[in-house]
Chain A
Amino acid sequence: MVFDILLPVLSIAGLALLFGGLLGFAGKKFHVDVDPKVEQIQNVLPGANCGGCGLPGCGVFADAVAKGTADYSGCPVAGSDAAIQIAAIMGIEASVSERKVAFIKCNGVDDNVKRNYIYSGPTSCISASQLALGGSKACAYACLGLESCKNACPFDAVNMVDGIAEIDTVKCVACGKCVDACPKNLIDMVYDKAKIRVMCNSRDKGKTVKDNCRAGCIACTLCQKNCSEEAIVIENNIAIIDYDKCTLCGVCVDKCPTKSIKVLS
């Protein structure tokens, strides 16, 4: 009777001991020295294994960063704080200036831009842009404000303000999902520190722009002429700022007759 109980208990205990010992032995015998950085980096990461970095999980990402095959700021979830910490672990200087954010190159809020017709279809820029004239706004380049980028944003960083999308630069992590979602190709990744932005993407001639929108770039070249650093050029009827040269002096902002160049707060 006692034996009937003891035998199973002892066999299980024996097997468990055997396998436990085996694992303990294997743990010592096959010990692999892992880079201590990997573990430190892993502690900084969110540990959600979401795959947002393009790698299978946080562990793999930490490994890749330690090896140098992945960028230290590659985790879109942890954000810039974690990127700075990871850079510190890796012994690299993390420059905040490298922080990028999404930017919507349009100033076509409801008061500024004319409408050709009233759109009442599905709330999707992709649907609306398939229709006549590429959407209801008179400017074919304008932000349609139908939330395709907002829906694509995993971080809730896109808001709709007066009929166009606006990026919350605090929440934005520059993952690029909105860039892919925008049928008008209006969204760019820009340096967050480059606060002077051309709020227009229209390649139309000045007169057409003026007919369609009060705040579009009419390619008058005033900004180009007045920029002491030669940081602005007009190409294809749109002003383009070279941020390597721009000193954020703000002359172009004052000179722009349509106020399509703005200083962001």
Chain B
Amino acid sequence: MSMFFIFVGAALINNFILTQFLGVCPFLGVSKKMNTAIGMGLSVLFVMTIGAALTHVVYHQILARFGIEFLQTVVFILIISSIVQFIELYMKKMFKSLYDMLGIFLPLMTTNCAIMGVALINIRDTYSFAGAMFNSVGAGSGFLLAIIILAAIREKYDNHPSIPVVFQGFPLALFSTGLMSIAFMGFQGLI
């Protein structure tokens, strides 16, 4: 049951974008169209899970064992950027259709703070390996959910004639994000 709580906590209550303000750049950048938003959300979910698994193992098996935890930031950056590159090469060869779908969003993942954030939170909150997995899948699902909601809103209203020109585009996206953030506050106290 506690695993379920971790998942819901990461996906809804501590939603990475709307509550913790991590990964806002891709969230605003690629939420104009639904299909690109889904591609981005899936890329985040995918890389987040694999990245969290690897960083968790490396932290506990190498860094903690030798007492050099202070290197975690440097090491995590190294791990995340390497696996993103590796996954890109692997997918290009093995799953061409998935690679085409994720497209340019996969390399963008390298510098996404949400990926780094989930790796660091797994360590900070001393999750077990399973806990870390549920946490990162939850965080990725939360990102996917938020970006899909925003893309749906923006597809409808980004250039809607009833919106004054000064508010069209990014200003409205920021307003929508703020309102979504307030709405997600309603999940506080769910558990």
Q: Which of B66, B79, B85 contacts A7 (CB 8 A)?
A: B66
Assembled-state Cα–Cα distance A60/B70 (Å) = 41
Complex Cα–Cα for A8 and B63 (A): 9
User: B93 in the interface, Cβ–Cβ < 8 Å?
Assistant: yes
Digit string of B96-112 for contact with A (CB within 8 Å is 1, else 0)? 00000001100000000
Closest to A27 in B: B89
Does B94 sit at the interface, judged by CB under 8 A?
Answer: yes
Flag if B82 contacts A8 (CB, 8 Å): no
Determine whether A251 belongs to the interface, using a CB cutoff of 8 Å to chain B. Answer: no
Interface of A, secondary structure class, is helix
Per-residue interface assignment for chain A, residues 5 to 44, with 1 indicating a CB less than 8 Å from any chain B CB and 0 otherwise: 0011001100110011011001101111000000000000
Of A7, A8, A30, the residue contacting B89 (CB under 8 A) is: A30
- B90–A12 CB distance below 8 A: no
How many A-B contacts if CB must be within 8 Å?
52
A26-B86, A26-B89 known; A12+B104 contact, CB < 8 A: no
The CA of A57 and the CA of B108, in the complex, are separated in Å by 14
Interface size class of A (residues with CB under 8 A): 20 to 34
Map CB proximity to A onto B62-100 as digits: 1 under 8 Å, 0 otherwise. Answer: 110010101100110011001001100110111000000
Q: Are B89 and A23 in contact (CB-based, < 8 A)?
A: yes
Cβ of B58 within 8 Å of any chain A Cβ, yes or no, is: yes
Residue of A nearest to B30 (CB): A56
The distance from the CB of B3 to the nearest CB of chain A, in whole angstroms, is 29
Measured CB to CB, the closest approach of chain A to B71, in angstroms, equals 6
Contacts of B36 in A (CB 8 A): 56
Q: Offer 22 A-B interface pairs, CB within 8 angstroms, sorted by A.
A: A8-B68, A11-B63, A11-B68, A11-B71, A11-B75, A12-B71, A15-B58, A15-B62, A15-B79, A19-B78, A20-B82, A22-B86, A23-B82, A26-B90, A27-B89, A30-B92, A32-B92, A56-B36, A56-B103, A59-B104, A60-B103, A60-B104
Name A's B-contacting residues (CB within 8 A): 7-8, 11-12, 15-16, 19-20, 22-23, 26-27, 29-32, 56-57, 59-60
Task: Apart from A11-B63, A30-B90, list 5 A-B contacts with CB within 8 A.
Answer: A11-B71, A12-B71, A15-B75, A19-B82, A29-B93
